[in-house]
């Protein structure tokens, strides 16, 4: 499997697959096949893919550990960048289709609606991660600072969950949200468990020494 993941065609294929939802939504908008409320379909569709790509990004490390497919690590940055890409599209759909690109109205609306405020904050936090998602940024920042910066993805995914929760609360529909919540809980819970194991190992070494 590592050989397949390292194949020169693997990354272009992932890129094409990650663009698939965008192509589907764009075609639906042009062909008028998004249902009775195409604006809502575009806003919700792009938002759903932000959360999905965040989950996929967080899933890379545990999957690599569980399967031994170390080559998965080379896909993590692309998945994270696509989360930001769909986040930008989500905000643009809101700004255009919901607010008519009225900047003053958008500025007034963001603090008035908690779920919009939380979503905007998550997108704002994603921006520096996307801007530093290349090797030169690691050298410029230093590995430790770069890693600390990119650990903000944990806060981002929690803000994304909160954004989605408040958005669905108006319709009292939490079925899909619950699925995302369980996935995120597993992915973050695994990391907490791993951190606890590392601390326990360090304590044992300190005692034995």
pLDDT digits (tens, 9 = 90+) for 3-48: 888 888 999 999 999 999 999 999 999 999 999 999 999 999 999 9
For residues 165-181, average pLDDT: 88
Per the structure, the count of domains in the chain is 1
pLDDT at 154: 96
**pLDDT score of 208 more than 80:** no
Query: The tokens 């770069």 sit on which residue?
Result: 146
Contact 54, 153 (CB under 8 A): yes
Structure confidence at residue 209 as a pLDDT band (50, 70, 90):
low
pLDDT digits (tens, 9 = 90+) for 111-158: 999 999 999 999 999 999 999 998 899 889 999 999 999 999 999 999
Question: What range defines the domain where residue 181 resides?
Answer: 2-208
Q: Which helix (H) or strand (E) holds 155?
A: helix 153-169
User: Would you say the pTM of this structure is higher than 0.75?
Assistant: yes
User: For residue 105, which of 16, 129, 97 has the smallest C-alpha distance?
Assistant: 97
13 DSSP assignment: H
Residue 30 has phi, psi (to 5 degrees) of -70, -35
**pLDDT score of 170 more than 90:** no
Can you tell me the distance from the alpha carbon of 57 to that of 118, in angstroms, rounded to the nearest whole number?
Answer: 20
pLDDT digits (tens, 9 = 90+) for 44-78: 999 999 999 999 999 999 999 999 889 999 899 99
């Amino acid at each position: 499997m590592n050989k397949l993941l390292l194949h020169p065609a693997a990354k272009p294929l992932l890129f094409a697959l990650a663009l698939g939802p965008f192509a589907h939504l764009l075609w639906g908008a042009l062909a008028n096949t998004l249902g009775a409320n195409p604006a809502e379909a575009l806003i919700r569709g792009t938002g759903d893919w932000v959360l999905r790509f965040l989950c996929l990004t967080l899933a890379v490390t545990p999957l690599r550990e569980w399967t031994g497919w170390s080559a998965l690590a080379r896909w993590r940055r692309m998945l994270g960048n696509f989360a930001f890409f769909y986040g930008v599209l989500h905000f643009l759909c809101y700004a255009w289709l919901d607010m008519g690109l009225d900047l003053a109205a958008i500025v007034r609306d963001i603090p008035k609606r908690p779920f919009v405020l939380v979503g905007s904050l998550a997108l704002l936090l994603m921006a520096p991660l996307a801007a530093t998602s290349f090797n030169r940024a690691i050298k410029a920042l230093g590995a430790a600072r770069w890693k600390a910066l990119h650990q903000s993805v944990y806060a981002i995914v929690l803000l994304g969950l909160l954004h989605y929760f408040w958005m669905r609360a108006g319709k009292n529909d939490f079925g899909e949200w619950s699925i995302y919540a369980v996935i995120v809980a597993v992915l973050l819970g695994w990391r907490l468990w791993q951190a606890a194991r590392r601390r326990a190992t360090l304590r044992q070494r300190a005692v034995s020494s």
